[in-house]
Amino acid sequence: MSYETTRPAGARELLAGEDGWAYIDVRTVEEFEAGHAEGAFNIPVATRAPSGGMLPNPDFVAVVQKHFAPDAALVLGCAMGGRSARACEALEAAGHTRLVNMYGGFNGASDAMGTVVEPGWQACGYPCEAASPPERSYDGLRA
């Protein structure tokens, strides 16, 4: 594993810097549309199955590669940090070299008892939005 992991504060610092980091929200379209980090791109690593579970998005890597070079600086986030870690692994296997997983995600990470162990982007009070221009939505990115 060569990707890094950071908390929301570290991700915000990277995104606010001058190194050109981009934020990819790997949650479902529905989750993304309910609220996301300001300026995020939505490329789901998994989609909801009709049965209610999650299925890997077979187009995830291809859509990322269509818009971001292998050496692009990318922060990946989800709801808590699990899906974004899997997304980092998939992109790393495809040759991407500057990847950061945001542990805590948008909603915050919880332990087995439901206690929040890492506040998420939203709980930290960082800039959020619900609307997104087409060039940052999954429909626009996969077109």
What are the residue numbers of the active site? 78
C-beta of residue 10 within 8 angstroms of C-beta of residue 119: no
Long-range contacts of range 45-51, CB-CB < 8 Å, 24 or more positions apart? 45/78, 45/83, 45/84, 45/86, 45/87, 45/90, 46/83
Integer Cα distance of 105 and 102 in angstroms: 6
Q: For residue 116, give both structure tokens.
A: 């929040």
